[in-house]
Homo-oligomer: A and B are copies of this chain.
Amino acid sequence: MAKYVFGVDIGGTTVKMGFLDIQGNLLDKWEIPTRKENGGENILPDVARSIEEKLKKDNIAKEDVAGIGVGVPGPVSGDGVVHRAVNLGWGEFNVNDKLTALTGIKSMAGNDANVAALGEMWKGGGQGYSDMVMVTLGTGVGGGIIIGGKILAGSTGAGGEIGHIHVNDSEEKTCGCGNKGCLEQYASATGISYLATQHKKNWNGQTVLKDDLSAKAVFDGVKAGDALCIEVAEDFGETLGKGLAVIASVVNPEAFVIGGGVSKAGEVLLSYIRPSFDKYAFHGARGAKLLLATLGNDAGMYGAAKLVL
């Protein structure tokens, strides 16, 4: 029986490579550059070469490897077909087939946010839950939905694109996706800075918020008891809680797991989301837990590995 598995998380700058045993212990990790030139044609061959080198170095037979899981920054259908990954220069092709052909090892790909959700379920903040929604609050807002322990990829790989839930009718600014009033415009790191800018304009009192209006500055201010920062956090929490409540009415998860850079603020973050979630959630779905992610940037490697197991 196979003893090992590779978890590969392809990003726009580097590819995170993880080597795990099938119990999910991370035995080794390293990075290789993401070569995006020529439509990203070198990326999978580079991954394949790095895997071959690792196996050779450690004297491990391919028969001992259960498979290679891959997280891709773009929509991926359940069958492994990527539908354009702009950050890699990729068009549409079957990642599973291509990487299997290159390595002779079973390969399975998924969207990076979905794969990270699987990782948090397996070894992170979502352990013990099989119906779970991961919410990644980074530059944007990503999402990954796990139902019955499996990724909900969606019919065109857009399942869990929760950053683009419409939450505000009166927004005049356009979101990166082209719509107006998306959750991402208020709940991402960028969104929190946007809220801070708005609130600061109408603020006459004292505040620790000076030039740095980052999400980190806002939540540091919250912890220091700064009234403006608290107002911004309340606005953020009201909007994100409302968005999560909508998701709860649709997929009724056991838990939401909050990750991404913004989640480094810690438990205080959840305390601003919970009241709004409780206010807007349908009573039958209100029992969902709000939890923090624990794997950080390694979630994708763990989840990619889990994908093939």
Please provide the chain A residues from 152 to 184 with a CB less than 8 Å away from any CB of chain B in the complex. Answer: 152-162, 164-166, 169, 177-179
Q: A179-B280, A284-B75 are in contact. Are A249 and B162 (CB under 8 A)?
A: yes
A287: interface (CB < 8 Å): yes
Selected from B147, B158, B251, B285, the residue in CB contact (under 8 A) with A285 is B158
A250: interface (CB < 8 Å): yes
Selected from B131, B145, B280, the residue in CB contact (under 8 A) with A251 is B145
Residue in chain B with minimal CB distance to A75: B284
Q: Which one of A29-37, A88-96, A240-248 contacts B?
A: A240-248
Main secondary structure of the interface of A (DSSP, over half): loop
Q: How far is the CA of A75 from the CA of B131 in the complex (A)?
A: 16
Q: A166-B245, A242-B166, A246-B165 are in contact. Are A284 and B156 (CB under 8 A)?
A: yes
A254: interface (CB < 8 Å): yes
- CB contacts (< 8 Å) of A164 on chain B: these are 249, 282
Q: By the criterion CB–CB under 8 Å, are B284 and A251 in contact?
A: no
Selected from B161, B253, B285, the residue in CB contact (under 8 A) with A252 is B161
Q: By the criterion CB–CB under 8 Å, are A250 and B159 in contact?
A: yes
A283: interface (CB < 8 Å): yes
Number of A residues, CB within 8 Å of B? 45
- CB contacts (< 8 Å) of A166 on chain B: these are 242, 245-246, 280
A276 CB, nearest partner CB in chain B, Å = 10
Selected from B143, B148, B177, the residue in CB contact (under 8 A) with A283 is B177
Q: By the criterion CB–CB under 8 Å, are A249 and B147 in contact?
A: no
Q: By the criterion CB–CB under 8 Å, are A155 and B254 in contact?
A: yes
